Structure 1
Amino acid sequence: MSLTPQGPSTSDGQGRHGGGGRRRGGSKGDGPRRRRRALRWSATVLSVLILGTAGAGYLYYQHLNGNIQKGRRDIGDSKASKTAPNAAGQTPLNILLIGSDSRNSARNLQLGGHRESVGSPPLADVQMLIHLSADRKSAAMVSIPRDTRVEIPKCTDPDTGKVYPATDDIINTTLARGGAGCTLATWQNLTGVYIDHWMTIDFAGVVSMADAIGGVDVCVKQNVWDHSTPTVRGGSGLKMTAGTHKVKGEKALQWLRTRHAWGSDLMRARAQHMYLNSMIRTLKKQNVFTDTGRLTDLAEAATSSLKVSEEIGTVKKLYDLGMELKSVPTDRITSVTMPNVEDARNRDHVVPDGANADKLWQMLRDDVPLDKNGKNDKGTDAKKKTGKGPAAKPASVDASRLGVTVQNATGTSTEPAVGGRANAIAQELAGKGYAGAGADRTAALSEDKTVVRYPSAELEGDAQRVAKALGIPLSAVQKSTDVSGVTVVVGSDWRTGAAYPKQSAPKAGDLPSNSDAINGSDTKQCMDVYKVYQW
C-alpha cells in the first residue's frame, strides 16, 4: 500500500502544493523553511536555558554574598600611613587574619570545650598579618603570639557605642574590645604598618574550610598526644603517630590549636605556619574550577566561615584577594613570628624584642621582601621605589613664628622613656631658628619611629621644613587629626643625640635571627613533640 497520495501534484506557482498532495520528503523549497523553523526553535530553547542558568547563578551569587558577615575596618585610635607606591604606582596589600576562640554556638562549644566561656566575648588567639608585596611577587605571613603584652588604644564598639579606654594588656584581648577593628588598630600602632582589611574565623569555620580543601599534609617527628596531664589541664586532643599525615576537619583544628605538645605558643605559631604553607601548596595544585562540587563546597565554606571588614564583603572581592595570593610562587612566601623576649612583669607573657621587632616592621612598611629568592630584590626606601621622595611644600610662616610641640615617645615595652628628650629636641629646634618650639611634658607616648605630624594641609610645608631641620626623612611627615599644630614625636629610634640617626635600608631576606622564618616551598618541616606529650 502506497503511503503517498495518488495523482499528479499541482502548484500555485509559489512553491506551495495544491490538491492536498505532498511528497514524503517535501519539495525542494520546503527544506530550508523547516530548517529555519528548527533553528529558531533551538535558539529559543537555548536562550531560555541560558537565561535560567544565569538567573540561578545570580541567585546563588547573592546567596553567597548573604553568607558573609561584615564589620568596621578600624574602630580604634590608630596611626599608620600607607606605604608609598612603587614606580608602577602599585602599593602593598596587608590583611590581618584573626582566629577567634568563640564558644558562643553549639558547634564551637563542641569543638572548643570550656562551657564556662559561653557568653563571654571571644579572644583573638591567632593573629597573623598577610603581606602581599606591591608587585605581587612575594608575600609574608607574620604572627604575633597571643600572650604578647602591648599598648592597646581606645576602641569603640560600632554596634553598641561602648568605649573601651586605652590599656596595657595582652594582644588577644583586643577582639573583646569592640571587635576585630580594635585588633587591627592595635597592630597598626605597634607596627606602623597600614592594614587594609581584616578577616576572622572561628573553630567551626576552620573545620568546614579544612574539609572543603580536602586535607592538608602536616608532619610530627614523634608520636604526639596533646591531652591533660596531672600538672597541666587542657589540650587540643591531637593524637597521631610520627610522620606525615593529611589532616582535615576536626583533626586540622586540633593541629592549629595545639600548644602544650609543641612546648609553647611560639611553637604553636610555627605549626600554624607549616599548616598554612602546606594549604597554599595544596590549593595551587588543585583546579577547583573544573570540579563544580568542590568549587561549591569551597565557596559555601569560605563565605559562611569568614567575617570580614566591610570593604571586602563580597564574593568577587574575596575571590580577587585569593587569586592575588595564589599568584605568588611558594618559594617567595615567608612565614615569621614577631621577635620577642620574656615580659619582665609576667614570665607567662612576652613583649616585642626591641630593635629586632622594629627591623621586621620596617621591612613590611618599606615593602622589602622577607625572602632572598627574587631576581632583583634589594633593600629600598620610599624614595627609591617611586623614583623621587615626597614633594616639598611651601612653608606658611617664617620658622621663628611657627609653634612646634615636641613629645617624648622614646619608651618601649622593654625600656622606659629617656628623660628630657622632648626638651632636648625642642632646644635643638630653637637653635635652628624655631623660637616657638617647646616640650610637651604631659604626653605619655610610645612610638617605634620618630614622626612629624601636622593637622591640616596648610601646615604640611611647615612640618616638612621642621623634619628637614632635624634630619628626619620626609616620609615620616604625617597628617593627623590628633595634633593641633606641627608636632615632633620623638620615637624609640632616637633615644640619644641631637641629630636624627641615619637609617640603613633593610635588605631582602635579612631577617632577625629570632623570627623563626619558614619558606613556603619547604616541604621538610616537621614538628618536635615535647616529651611529656609523646606516646
Structure 2
Amino acid sequence: MSVLILGTAGAGYLYYEHLNSNIRGGSRAGGESGVKKATPNALGDTPLNILLIGSDSRADAKNVALGGGKDLRDSKPLADVQMLLHVSADRQNASIVSIPRDTIVPIPECKDGTTTYPATTSSPINETLARGGPGCTLTTWEKITGIYIDHWMMIDFAGVVAMADEVGGVPVCVKTGVHDKPTRMVKGGSGLKLPAGTTEVQGKQALQWLRTRHAFGSDQNRAKAQHMYLNGMVGKLQKQDAWSDTGQLMGLAETATKALQVSDELKSVKKLFDLSMQLKNVKMNRLTTATVPTAEWSQNRNKVVMIESAADKMWSMLRDDIAFDKNGKATGPKTGPTASAKPKAVAEDPGSLAVTVSNGTAGTGGAAVEGRAKDIAGALAGKGFTLAAATTEQQPREDTVVLYPKSGGDQGKANAVSVAKALGIPEAKVRADAKTEGITLVVGADWHEGSRYKAPAAKAGDLPEGADDKTTCMDIYSVYRWDGKS
C-alpha cells in the first residue's frame, strides 16, 4: 500500500501521513511472561503470531448506539473476542485459535501506566483487557501457551461495522432461520434475524452475528460463527483481489486505520502493508480455525476451564510450528539431534562445560515433578558432563530448551548443541539468550520422565477432538429458530 500511495503525484505523501495519523497504538506486552521468540528455521524465518481482540468498549457514542449499555460508558472494556492467528514460518499455512471469553485462566501481574494489577487465578480471560489493556491480554496468552506473540490488533463495535461495510458484506450461513431475541428464560440477545441459507451481512447485522451466543447454543459455537465470518471476509478479499485494486485498497486503508488499534510495532502504514503481504498468499484450504475444548468450571457452572490435555497438545503444535491442517507437512522440530551441514565451531570437551539444570516441569499451571532437575543433571554427568548441576530455582515453561549466552557466538552454540545431543533434544530447542550467563537446560512440562528426551507425538492435522470447528453452516438452537415470517 505504501508503494501505491507514495507512487502517486502531489498529494500522495500527504495522504500517506494522513493514514499514519489514523492509527492508534499501544505497548505490545503488559507484563513479563518469560516467553522467547521461536528459533528461526534454516532460511532464517520464524512463525508469525498475532493476537486478535474484540473489545466491548462503550466509551464512544457509536459503540453505545450499536451495543447498548449506556450505563457502561465509564466501565473498563472487556475482551469478549480473543483469537490467536498463527502463520507458519514458511507462510504456507495458518491457524486461528479461540479461547472462549468466560474461560477461567491464570492472569499474571500486569501494568497499565502507573497502575499495577495483581495476578489472579479465578478470573475469566475476558477481564485481561480491563487489567492492563491489550498488552495484558497478550501477556496472559503467552503465559498460558508458551508461544511468543509478535503483535496484537484490536477492534470495537463501530470498527466491525465499518470493515464489514467496506468489503461490501461478509457471507455467513445458518441451517434454519434465526432470531436471537430475549426469551422468558433468557434475557438479552443480539437481535440477529436472518433467513435460512447464506446471507452477506454488513452494518449492524455483521456485529449482531459476531455477538450472537444464545441462538448458537454456547460460547464454543459463537467462536465457530466468528471463525466462519473471518473465513468469509478473507475469502471475499482474495476473490476481489483487493491487494492489487488501488481504489479498493485505499478505501480499505482508510477504514482499517480508523477501525483498528495495534501494538506499537505495527503503528505505521508501511508495517501494516508488509504484514498484509505476508498473509495474502495463505490459501483458504490451508487456513484452519479451532477453539480450545472446555469443560464446566467446578465453582461456577456459567464459567468454563480448558481441557488441559487438549489445550496442551494444541499449544505444543503451535510452538513447534506443526500445521493444524492435513494439507501440508509438519514443519516443527524432529525428534533426535539435527545435523548441521557445516559446523561453524567444534564443541569443547564435555567435562569442561558447566551446565545448570533447572526444573520447569510445572509449565503454566501444573505441578512440578520433584527432583527432575537433579535426575537430568545426573544423566548428563553419566554422559561425561561432570560439571552439570541442578539448581533449586524453578523456571516453569511448557517446552524443554537449552539456553546459552548470546555473547557465546558459534562456540557457545556448539557447546550447547553437544548438551542437547547427549540427551536427544532437537537442535531447534537450542537457543541464544541475552540474560543467560552459562549453558542452562530447562526441563519443561513436555518431559516429565526418562533420561532421554522424546518429543510429544504430533503430526499435521492431528488436532484433539472437538477443537477443529470449521463449518459451512451454523446450527440454531431450537428456541431461536425463525420461520422467516413473523
Residues 363-399 of structure 1: per-residue CA shift (max 9 Å, x gap): 222222222224xx24541799997499787569956
Q: Give the equivalent residue in structure 1 for 2:205.
A: 251
Give the 5 Å matches for 1:130-209: 130-157=85-112, 160-168=113-121, 169-209=123-163
Give the 5 Å matches for 1:131-530: 131-157=86-112, 160-168=113-121, 169-288=123-242, 294-374=248-328, 377-378=329-330, 380-381=332-333, 388=340, 394=347, 398=351, 402=354, 404=356, 406-410=358-362, 413=365, 416-422=367-373, 424-425=375-376, 434=386, 437-440=389-392, 443=394, 446-453=396-403, 457-458=407-408, 467-479=420-432, 487-495=440-448, 497-504=449-456, 506-518=458-470, 525-530=472-477
Q: Give the equivalent residue in structure 1 for 2:67.
A: 112
1:316/1:436 CA distance change after superposition, 3 Å = closer
Counterpart selection for 1:127 from 79, 82, 86: 82
List runs of 5+ in structure 1 lacking aligned partners: 1-49, 519-523
The alpha carbon displacement at 1:475 in A equals 3.3
Counterpart selection for 2:23 from 62, 68, 72: 68
Equivalent pair of 1:98/1:127 in contact (CA under 8 Å): yes
- Name the count of aligned residue pairs: 472
Q: Give the equivalent residue in structure 2 for 1:84.
A: 39
Q: Give the equivalent residue in structure 2 for 1:534.
A: 481
SS of residue in 1 equivalent to 2:466: helix
The alpha carbon displacement at 1:222 in A equals 1.9
Paired AA for residue 166 in structure 2: A
Q: Give the equivalent residue in structure 2 for 1:38.
A: none
Residues 124-154 of structure 1: per-residue CA shift (max 9 Å, x gap): 1111122222222222112122222223233
The alpha carbon displacement at 1:484 in A equals 6.9
Q: Give the equivalent residue in structure 2 for 1:9.
A: none
The alpha carbon displacement at 1:172 in A equals 1.6
Moved more, 287-296 or 105-114: 287-296
1:77/1:369 CA distance change after superposition, 3 Å = same
Paired AA for residue 114 in structure 2: G
User: Separation in 1 of the partners of 2:187 and 2:437?
Assistant: 52
Paired AA for residue 361 in structure 2: A
Paired AA for residue 81 in structure 1: K
Q: Which has the larger radius of gyration?
A: 1
Equivalent pair of 2:358/2:373 in contact (CA under 8 Å): yes
Q: Give the equivalent residue in structure 2 for 1:47.
A: none
Moved more, 177-186 or 206-215: 177-186
SS of residue in 1 equivalent to 2:461: coil
The alpha carbon displacement at 1:329 in A equals 1.6
Paired AA for residue 215 in structure 2: A
Work out whether 1:103 is the aligned partner of 2:53.
no
The alpha carbon displacement at 1:59 in A equals 1.1
1:155/1:52 CA distance change after superposition, 3 Å = closer
Moved more, 234-243 or 214-223: 234-243
User: Separation in 1 of the partners of 2:7 and 2:386?
Assistant: 73
Q: Give the equivalent residue in structure 2 for 1:28.
A: none
User: Separation in 2 of the partners of 1:461 and 1:387?
Assistant: 12
Q: Give the equivalent residue in structure 2 for 1:17.
A: none
SS of residue in 1 equivalent to 2:97: strand
Equivalent pair of 1:343/1:351 in contact (CA under 8 Å): yes
User: Separation in 2 of the partners of 1:471 and 1:264?
Assistant: 44
Equivalent pair of 1:392/1:464 in contact (CA under 8 Å): no
Equivalent pair of 2:357/2:374 in contact (CA under 8 Å): no
Residues 493-531 of structure 1: per-residue CA shift (max 9 Å, x gap): 223x3414411553222222221242xxxxx71111112
1:335/1:435 CA distance change after superposition, 3 Å = same
SS of residue in 2 equivalent to 1:150: strand
The alpha carbon displacement at 1:256 in A equals 0.6
TM-score, normalised on structure 1?
A: 0.78
User: Separation in 2 of the partners of 1:397 and 1:487?
Assistant: 14
Paired AA for residue 340 in structure 1: T
The alpha carbon displacement at 1:80 in A equals 2.8
User: Separation in 1 of the partners of 2:101 and 2:435?
Assistant: 29
TM-score, normalised on structure 2?
A: 0.85
Equivalent pair of 1:127/1:143 in contact (CA under 8 Å): yes
Paired AA for residue 324 in structure 2: L
User: Separation in 2 of the partners of 1:487 and 1:88?
Assistant: 26
Equivalent pair of 1:395/1:460 in contact (CA under 8 Å): no
Paired AA for residue 143 in structure 1: S
1:81/1:511 CA distance change after superposition, 3 Å = same
User: Separation in 2 of the partners of 1:186 and 1:462?
Assistant: 34
SS of residue in 2 equivalent to 1:176: helix
The alpha carbon displacement at 1:477 in A equals 4.0
1:237/1:288 CA distance change after superposition, 3 Å = same
Residues 310-330 of structure 1: per-residue CA shift (max 9 Å, x gap): 222122222232233222221
User: Separation in 1 of the partners of 2:299 and 2:443?
Assistant: 25
Paired AA for residue 479 in structure 2: V
Equivalent pair of 2:359/2:368 in contact (CA under 8 Å): no
Paired AA for residue 154 in structure 2: T
User: Separation in 2 of the partners of 1:422 and 1:75?
Assistant: 31
Root mean square deviation of aligned Cα = 3.4
1:99/1:69 CA distance change after superposition, 3 Å = same
1:412/1:383 CA distance change after superposition, 3 Å = closer
